Structure 1
Amino acid sequence: MKIEKDYLNLEDVYEIRIFNATEKDFYNSTPQEFDIEDDPIQEFINNISEDVHIFIPYENGKDFIIQKSSSNLLETYNLSQEDVKGRLLSKISPLFFDSLHDNLFESYTNHTTKKIRFVYYDTQNESIKKSTAKIVFYMEKLFIIVTDAYGTISNSEGMIDITLDENQNNIMENLSQTGSYYKINGKYTWSQGIYNIINRNKEESDEHHNIVLDLAIPEDKYKVDKILNFTNKETSQCDEILRIVDEEGILKLIEVTVYSYFDDKGVFIRQGWINVLTQRHSESSESIDFLVDGSKSSMKLAWLIEPLNKKLYSFSKGFYNLIEKDYGEYVHSREILNNIAEEEVVDELIKLADGDITKVDETLTYKVDGDPKNIKIVNLYIERFEYNNNLHSLGFLTDVTEEMLKKEQLIESNERQLVLIKELHHRVKNNLQIINSFLNLEKRAYKNSPELAIEHMQTRLTSLAMLHEKTYNSPDFKNINLNECLTDQDVSTKKLVNSPMELEFKTYVDENINVSIEVITPLLLIIDELTMIAIRNALPDKTTLDKKIIKKVTMSDKDTVLLTFEEIGIGIEDSKDITDVIGCEIIKSLTKQLDGTIISIKNENGIVYELVFPIEMVHTIH
């Protein structure tokens, strides 16, 4: 004996599958342990058609005491109520205890109703019986109410399984206005879909007459006679469209398809399918959309019922939202395939429709009304399958346009970050090479004053460190704010100067001037060199007051930047051209990197340097 349990999400039912069980697994004779009185509603329960079991929770739901078992179950095992009453479920029926405990406990602790289904299998793993029930918590007790049961039908050759509740078929009938039935040995068995169509619950007498054809309007009774006459033959098929009035007085147009045949065991079977044709799209889509109600992305998910059937298809609202059409505007045909960009996907769907393959699971690009500027990325799944000798199809699609766009943006962002990291390493290498060149140059220039070379290197390294901090905190290397960089540079330089109070820095930059790292690196180093030249000539002079370095950065035109570097109260004793000043080689080299020009002008306050350079350069970053 084996037990399998599974929660079927679409059906909201806990299915318990029991394999190869014997009578001993279901019932063990045990003595009564508890004196249990009859329930006050016992008489009422005895007069309803459903099977009802009543359990009393024991030790906070660890076990359950039987107060009543259904008469059908007792009849099956030739027992009376006194044989089971007052016993613990775990002792009298370990099989049912193991199968039901989790659901009973959850219903008891949460006061919820649980739907369960038992399916019994024989030694050949063939289904021989199934039943559906609900567990209800009421008045501190648990009631198991068997709402329907599909039994087995015997003939001289063995058992015939009437399987009306296969997973895919159950989805089909619950989501669309369809139903099916059997007639064997003069008795009808109806699926739940039939009761949905006629708008009423199951009744005990339903097995004795055709509950659908009985509802035909008088004008269509002749079609009912035609159906019955045809299907009374040994093997036949009949298709008719007729009108019925359901239990709520609603007129419906239905399509009836009936087969009569002998199965492989020689049993004569009449099998029928009912499809509602009236208001198919608007009504059936409501039940389909129930699956996605409450979801923020419900309009991006679409259920496709019979998508390969031009006449009996039924799609949820999400489908019409995706193709941007109303129900009435859309006519289902292969023409919709013309709006799919991928030819290979179109070929697969044609093969699926023609029966060459059984399923399609693809991501495709859908052009709304064929417009290449209005596209949506869609996950599509359609499966075709055979049920009761007929081919059916079921599928869904999901609009994943936003998700795919975000994914592409993430990929692009990751790739860009890799490029930026490589570029950052490249810049570090270049800057170290620049520092090395400066050291070689100044070793010769300041061989008698090495402290000056060290001071200069400190200033340059501080500027480069600050620049790297700005760039790795920036979204990219092309839009670094110049005002922030020059302001931070002033602060760093003043900290390195021995007497910072004797020298004042003032910086003015036009609003929102952003430059790339190719521009700002040599620019900051040029400003460092000019600042060091000014400080070297200013600090020794203790008599001059109000010593200032003023920097102004403006746009001289839309493509060119002008930097004015002015020394006030600072001067070079021997006023000569900038090319004669120590450090001029460095400035000239850096200016060349900027594709710019620099000049020096002597005035009464000191020296003014004017550097002109393009705001954009050829970038190494792509």
Structure 2
Amino acid sequence: MHVKKRYDENSDIAEIEIHDINTKDIYKPSPKILDIHQPKHRKLLKAIPSDIHILLPIREGNDFIVMRLGWTTLQKTNLDSNDVEGRMYSNVLPFHYNLLKDYCKKAVTTKKTIKLRLYYYRNNRIQSIVHTTILEDNGKLYIVEDYSSEKEKNKPRIKEDKDSRKLELIEYFSQTGSYYKYKNKYTWTSGIYNIINRTPEIDDQYYNIVFNLVVDEDQHKVEKLLNNLGPESPHIEEIIKIKTKTGNIKYLDSHVYVKFDENNEIISKTGFFKDISHELTEKNRSMDYLINGFIKNSKLALLIEPFNSKYSFSEGFYEILELDKQHDYKNNWKHIIENIEEKEIVQKINGIQHGKINKLNETFTYYPNKSKENKKIIELSLESFYINNEIHHLGFLIDITKDIEKSKQLEYAKRQSIIIKEVHHRIKQFPNIE
């Protein structure tokens, strides 16, 4: 089990991801320290669809006494109200206390209403979303939780007009789809559901249903699509790899656009996705064997578009240069070239990157992490070419350190052999020397 917290400044809502929670860790038996009088409107509270928890703040809001626990939570945890009421919140429900204690104290001390969105995951797949409101009133703390009902999730879609149906057909045949995000809520076109192979659900408006399916090795691309947008760069594109709930692997050409107001505040986000899995499969099928050979090779790296952020480096690239896989080296080679000893090689790399030269075949000395104690000899072959007036790069990166060392050893052994033979030859010219 692990928890991830983040804060969405645009919607002023804290979001919390709870992964693989163990229900056995939620409740801990603890002694009762206060007799609780039943709320006057207990029957009414029970009839309300929302889960309403009532806590009594103690210790200046650092802890609470449970006065009431919502019925949905009681049922999910298989508890009776008598098991929790009158107990210390931190003792009887330690998981929820640790999850919400900071927000609860803030609501008590500031008298402000706190809004949260809780995402519950199981095996990296979202199971439920709980919209939570925390507020203080008349000396008590109220936690209101809203769950989406199964009826809402399975509600039939509204009949679409002719234009909507036409758009749906266009997206279907072009294998495209898009979303629009406004005031922190998503609107998805039907083409998206065709791409990810599932039907719409009511919770889809609260999270990015495409990015939620991205495989681990492409998560850094998602971070870039979400966090690197700004007034100077309102559009970013990436090719991402997703795994649908049915287990299908797909490649999506992804574009995210952002609109800003006069104060550079985000107004809306739009995303466009095109399924290019078939295109990539057809183009790369004949090269699969070749490319797969580079994926796990730690001494040889295939460089496909090393200056283009749409492509990824192979494992060998990071192994050879001893780099952090999480860092974005596509747009900034400074962390690489500053470790190269030969400055003329650095100038040539900059030259091919900016189109000043079109071919590079060099061997250079490389010091990982600027450490002079760890020296490597690297061979770099890189060539640029044009397709449709666009520049592209292809090449290889090879670690030849051990080959050089072996060559030096052989050269040394060869020289020693020559010296021994020469000495032996001279000795034979003087057979009578004792």
TM-score higher than 0.5: no
TM-score by length of 1: 0.30
The structure showing larger relative contact order (alpha-carbon pairs under 8 Å, at least 6 residues apart) is 2
